[in-house]
Amino acid sequence: MGDRSWSRLLFGTSDRVRDPAQEHRQGGTAALFWRYAVPGQPHMAAIRDALGAVGVTLPDAYAELRVHAPAPFAGTVFVDAVEIRIPTALDFTAASFHGWVSTIEFLRRLSGDRHGEFLDRLGERLSRSFPTIREANEEYLFLARRP
């Protein structure tokens, strides 16, 4: 488990980071989840357009990108893992979506020194075209039990 991003969790107010295998009692359940926007939504094209306006190309595969491991509990002490996909939706204003996008590290790195200009152009487009946004999402929930 040592090199997986989810394999270390912070519990309580302690500064200690602990291994979840050490924190779960026998018979306990561990849960991991990831949320992804459903591809093809019009407001997501605004991100691609704003990046393009500052000379940055978003990779074609970005909409289908999944950063989680397909079997995140494989090779751990947890067993009987199941994957559940849950359709959800998030509601944003243009400002709150813009604020959320400004925190996405991948986009900050991709746009580099043009990040501020990218955000300016995105903010203008969102305000003009998407004053409110209902973003369809799919959440991946993984459950597993510690024997």
14-51 tens-digit pLDDT: 444 456 566 667 888 888 989 999 999 999 999 999 99
Q: Say how many C-beta atoms besides its own lie within 10 A of residue 144's C-beta.
A: 22
d(CA 101, CA 117): 13
pTM: 0.75
Fill in the amino acid letter for 88: T
Q: Give the DSSP H or E segment for 95.
A: helix 94-101
